[in-house]
Amino acid sequence: RKEVEQDPGPFNVPEGATVAFNCTYSNSASQSFFWYRQDCRKEPKLLMSVYSSGNEDGRFTAQLNRASQYISLLIRDSKLSDSATYLCVARRSQGNLIFGKGTKLSVKP
Amino acid sequence: DGGITQSPKYLFRKEGQNVTLSCEQNLNHDAMYWYRQDPGQGLRLIYYSQIVNDFQKGDIAEGYSVSREKKESFPLTVTSAQKNPTAFYLCASSIEASRGYTFGSGTRLTVV
């Protein structure tokens, strides 16, 4: 089983839609979790951290369920500029980060 | 402005040649990392360093070497022993991993 697994998509949604991405992780010792955004042929950029209590930043909400080892990202009122690949990330006990392969989102007019 | 600089942006090398990718940061971060990304593969960890003069192998270290003589610099050498070196190489740094990483803009290496 891969350490971090995501549905690769693509998710094709119209502008204004709400879209949810899910991710599972295999190492119950993982302590920190993140969502990164990566545009085509660019470096990943930190979108937000993920906490058990939930984390909201504008139209984006991230949630962690430790019991199920499951992480989610919800995007409300999708914009064309949200089109990108979203990477689910977990921190290993050694301190380095393990990245999922990413979920591609395409928002259409 | 603080950040991470990777150079060059594009690099072409002949098969069998060693090549060194540069990564410099002025963020005063202790930890630095090298990842490679292939299409559809996500990011895979090559090497990382949590402090000057110390580094550890990541998940795919074979065919690569690094050094960490200065806090600001973490160069990666792709040796001729790396069987499939063509990829997008990303360098990152962090003040601590629990806060996530900052990435450089990457180097696209093509071996012909």
Q: Which of A44, A49, A91 is facing B103, going by the closest CB pair?
A: A44
Residues in chain A: 109
Mean pLDDT of chain A: 93
Contacts of B101 in chain A (CB under 8 A): 46, 97
At residue A2, the pLDDT reads 82
Smallest Cα distance from B40 to chain A, Å: 7
The residues, any chain, with a CB within 8 Å of residue A63's CB and separated by 6 or more, are A50, A54, A55, A71, A72, A74
Contacts of A5 in chain B (CB under 8 A): none
Interface contact B42-A87, CB threshold 8 A: yes
At residue B35, the pLDDT reads 98
What's the average model confidence in pLDDT over B77-102? 90
What's the average model confidence in pLDDT over B98-110? 91
Q: Side-chain half-sphere of A72: how many Cα atoms within 13 Å?
A: 13
Interface contact B100-A45, CB threshold 8 A: no
What's the average model confidence in pLDDT over A10-20? 97
At residue A93, the pLDDT reads 82
Which residues share a beta bridge with B49? B32
Q: Are A56 and A47 in contact (CB under 8 A)?
A: no
The band of B97, judged by pLDDT with boundaries at 50, 70 and 90, is low
Higher per-residue confidence, B112 vs A24: A24
Mean pLDDT of chain B: 93
Interface contact B50-A95, CB threshold 8 A: yes
Q: Which of A99, A4, A94, A106 is CA-nearest to residue A47?
A: A99
At residue B96, the pLDDT reads 76
The per-residue pLDDT for range A44-86, each reduced to its tens digit, is 999 999 988 889 999 999 999 999 999 999 999 999 999 999 9
Q: Which of B42, B48, B50 is facing A99, going by the closest CB pair?
A: B42
Interface contact A87-B50, CB threshold 8 A: no
Interface contact B56-A95, CB threshold 8 A: no
